[in-house]
Amino acid sequence: MCKKILNPVLAILSFFYLCGCGPHSTKSDLPVYLDDNSPVNERISDALSRMTLKEKVAMCHAQSKFSSAGVPRLGIPEIWTTDGPHGIRPEVLWDEWNQAGWTNDSCTAYPALTCLAATWNSDMSLLYGKSIGEEARYRNKNILLGPGVNIYRTPLNGRNFEYMGEDPFLSSAMVVPYIKGVQSNGVAACVKHFALNNQERYRGFINVNVSDRALHEIYLPAFKAAVKKGKVWALMGAYNQYKNQHCCENEILLRKILRDKWHFDGVAISDWNGTHNTMEAVKNGLDIEYGTEISEKGKSDSYDHYFMAGPYLNLIRGGELDTTELNEKARNILRLELRTNMNRKRPFGSFANPAHSAADLAIAEEGIVLLKNDGNILPINDNKVKSIAVIGENAIKMMTVGGGSSSLKVKYEILPLEGIEKRAGKDIKVTYERGYIGDTEGSYNGVNSRQNLSEKRSAAKLIEDAVAAAGKADYVIYVGGLNKSEGQDCEGADRKGLELPYGQDKLIDALSDVNKNMVVINISGNAVAMPWKNKVPAIIQGWYLGSEAGNALAAVLFGDVNPSGKLPFTFPQKLSDSPAFAMGEYPGKDGQETYNEGIFVGYRYADEKKTDPLFCFGYGLSYTSFKYEDITIDRSEFDGKGSVKISVRIKNTGNRAGKEIAELYIKDPESSLPRPPKELKGFSKIALEPGESKIVTFNLTLHDLEYYDPEAGKWKAEKGVFEALVGSSSRDIKGSARFNLTKTTYEED
């Protein structure tokens, strides 16, 4: 990493201390906190007793774009962060966003988190976290800035591709193994953005007005799971405001919920430039401030002017603050140090190796969603198809560059056209036409794709040439959708509309008129409108798939892999079908936005209003077929203790091996407060050979039956009849079982 060189003597002393063998002659001179056999709290207390006031304050704010200070005198290292959550960011200069120019920091790109969520497979999430954690560890990073678990509230949010969909249960189930995988490498995962960061437009100041019930039922569960089940070591605040207080210094979120209620013992860090007030940040639980923009640019001591730097020190020296909060922050930071770069047992990691490429490919293949396959035109039959026309800019455009802080410098990226050509081999002729002009620049945040996407042909000529190629081919594979440029799937701005950009709808219409064997691959992290849905026989949701994108898509197209992904969010027919537009006040006015839809987000809203989505939550097709039968429940009376077991037998009735995701929803028809018609409370992904059947069992506990009671300020389950719904999507329920909850006495976790 590109950082200032320490005094050589201090550097040597730090090394000796870290090794537990400082240059002192007696054992009593060695800091107790460096003795691995001592209790953690003892080691932290010993370190605190040796630190000066200035050293403690220095640990609470950045010293460069991506690092904060240690205490070299005591052998406490610096903390280095890196952007994720889809790959390890290239090195930048000490206090600039410009690239450092390293030649060995090209990483593996993993699929966007929407794709990970679409696998509905916790094993894939664990593999993802372990793999990306190995790369972060190898680069000696202490905090990976991810994963993101903000809820998909509007399909226009430019950052939805970094999150895990619209459902709090699915997001919670997928985030926990990701965190455990990352942290198994001695690298802290940093779950973000806490909380209510559900749009990029006005993100720096918009104040979100949301009911307590919606906050706890929809927007907080994944964060709660990350803290209580994932034991995450770091958490990042959001840019927006809640209760008219910025989230990075928010008393309710950071102090009352995160610390007091969830007992979080990690570090709370600010998003870059997300801190605004010294007193509020100090009092309300922020531990480390990063990225604050100082008005006097180029000032040599700019980091000393951060809110948590000189101003904080002056408040203590002036008697306006004591050191209570400071010692708490220092404890949290030292605990992080002991978990990460002062943990001598952590592995060494590895970087951009074949195992990581294989992990990317496996996750990408499982996350691809087959949305439509009329006439079973997929998979492509090698023996019958002699020519394929690949059309669309996204077939040749790198998608690892762009999107905001998740933009990557990758070791390689297999583009869709490359993957298709390689898989088609010599016996199938593959031609390519661009069809439309999108973003030709290919650079973001100092990373350049080095692609030459310039185009001399007019828009009309591009369509003409594409239609001509389509008319001559046996199959048309259209690769379009969004990209990661500003105003699409990109941090810092929201999309302008639900439709595809660059006139793609017109192009798809024209292509479908001349070739009925057409496959549309939508590359995006968001839902898009599809006015041509009924004209094309096959549609694939292709996401942003990382380094192995082209190979993953080709494997699904040709049937080497049977698609098994399902949608982690609803595709609405039109914007007015999205609750943020139908009932909410997106994007807000005069700095305020109210979530009038409350708990009715995504499929909950569609079910409540009985609207027909373009594609529903939990939906995805396969090249085989599955039959659900023998749905049983182990008891009809539930006293709230243990669990209710719901079982279903699933059989592969087709002629291909495949994977099916069984989904369990709960309906509470007798609730005293309005509840959605159904809520996801379980899922299981199983692999089945042709003719094979397996029994899937779900365990429902009392907590799965709860709603948040805003009057009582706690979770509550009510006695009465519940219905367990088992299906292959939120709109394809195969059967149900009813049971009666007779008692509700329990200890809230």
The catalytic residue positions are: 271
Residues 393, 480: contact at Cβ < 8 Å?
Answer: yes
Partnered with residue 269 across adjacent β-strands are 236, 288
Question: Greatest CA span in the chain, whole angstroms?
Answer: 85
Can you read off the two tokens belonging to residue 96? 């600039």
Distance CA 672, CA 707 (A): 10
Number of neighbouring beta carbons within 10 Å of residue 731: 18
Instruction: Give Cα separations from 254 to 259, 262, 263, 339 (angstroms).
Output: 6, 10, 11, 21
Looking at residue 305, what DSSP letter applies? G
CA dihedral 242, 243, 248, 254 (to 10 degrees): -100
Distance CA 684, CA 491 (A): 32
Which amino acid belongs to residue 29?
D
Q: Which residues contact 55 (CB under 8 A, 6 or more apart)?
A: 71, 73
Q: Which residue has the tokens 């249960």?
A: 169
Distance CA 125, CA 177 (A): 6
Can you read off the two tokens belonging to residue 146? 């991810």
Looking at residue 180, what DSSP letter applies? H
Helix or strand or coil: residue 47? helix
Can you read off the two tokens belonging to residue 188? 């802290």
The CA-CA-CA angle for residues 91, 96, 98, to 5°, reads: 55
Looking at residue 99, what DSSP letter applies? B
Distance CA 549, CA 556 (A): 11
Q: DSSP states of 207-237 as a string? A: EEE--HHHIIIIISHHHHHHHHTS--SEEEE
Going by C-alpha positions, the residue among 448, 456, 511 that lies closest to residue 479 is: 511
Can you read off the two tokens belonging to residue 94? 């000490």
Residues 161, 524: contact at Cβ < 8 Å?
Answer: yes
- Per DSSP (E only), the strands in 279-374 are 369-373
Q: Which residue has the tokens 């990382």?
A: 546
Distance CA 323, CA 335 (A): 18
> What sign results for the dihedral spanned by CA atoms 186, 257, 162, 291?
negative
Going by C-alpha positions, the residue among 210, 121, 209, 105 that lies closest to residue 164 is: 121
Cis peptide before 669 (omega within 30 of 0): no
Distance CA 178, CA 144 (A): 11
Can you read off the two tokens belonging to residue 209? 């007005």
> How deeply is 286 buried, as exposed, middle or buried, from its count of CB atoms within 10 A (0-12, 13-18, 19+)?
buried
Q: Which residues contact 385 (CB under 8 A, 6 or more apart)?
A: 428, 474, 475
Based on its alpha-carbon atoms, the radius of gyration of the chain, rounded to whole angstroms, reads 27
Q: Which residues contact 115 (CB under 8 A, 6 or more apart)?
A: 363, 364, 367, 368, 543, 544, 545, 565
Cis peptide before 276 (omega within 30 of 0): no
> How deeply is 637 buried, as exposed, middle or buried, from its count of CB atoms within 10 A (0-12, 13-18, 19+)?
exposed
Number of neighbouring beta carbons within 10 Å of residue 673: 14
CA dihedral 656, 682, 125, 361 (to 10 degrees): 20
